[in-house]
């Protein structure tokens, strides 16, 4: 296995992690921004008002995107295990 193959494998794994993390965190960030604008406009300084909507948005995202994320991880692992003999030899 040459360094170029190792680098390509690392790049694929890192890209998968970035995509999964972005899918999970972006809805929470958007909801947090909307709540922060609402709090700034109404001058409400309640900590739980900012936390609970982000939590619910993240949980809803995990519930909706969970099967897709699991499938992406499964496909990457399956590809890795199927190509393992070629990588070793």
Domain ranges of the chain: 13-84
Comparing CA positions, the residue from 14, 43, 50, 48 lying closest to residue 29 is 50
What is the four-CA torsion angle of 72, 75, 81, 85, rounded to 10 degrees?
Answer: -120
Contact 70, 10 (CB under 8 A): no
Query: What's residue 76's pLDDT?
Result: 96
Q: What is the pTM of this model?
A: 0.81
Q: Cα 73 from chain centroid? A: 11
- Per-residue model confidence as pLDDT tens for the chain (89 residues): 788 888 999 999 999 999 999 999 999 999 999 999 998 898 888 877 888 999 999 999 999 999 999 999 999 999 999 988 888 87
């Amino acid at each position: 296995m040459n360094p170029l193959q190792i680098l390509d494998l690392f790049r694929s794994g890192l890209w998968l992690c970035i995509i999964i993390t972005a899918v999970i965190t972006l809805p929470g960030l958007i909801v947090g921004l909307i709540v922060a604008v609402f709090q700034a406009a109404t001058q409400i300084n309640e900590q739980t008002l900012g936390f609970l909507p982000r939590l619910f948005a993240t949980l809803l995202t995990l519930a909706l995107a969970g099967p897709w994320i699991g499938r992406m991880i499964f496909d990457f692992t399956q590809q890795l295990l199927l190509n393992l003999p070629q990588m070793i030899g």
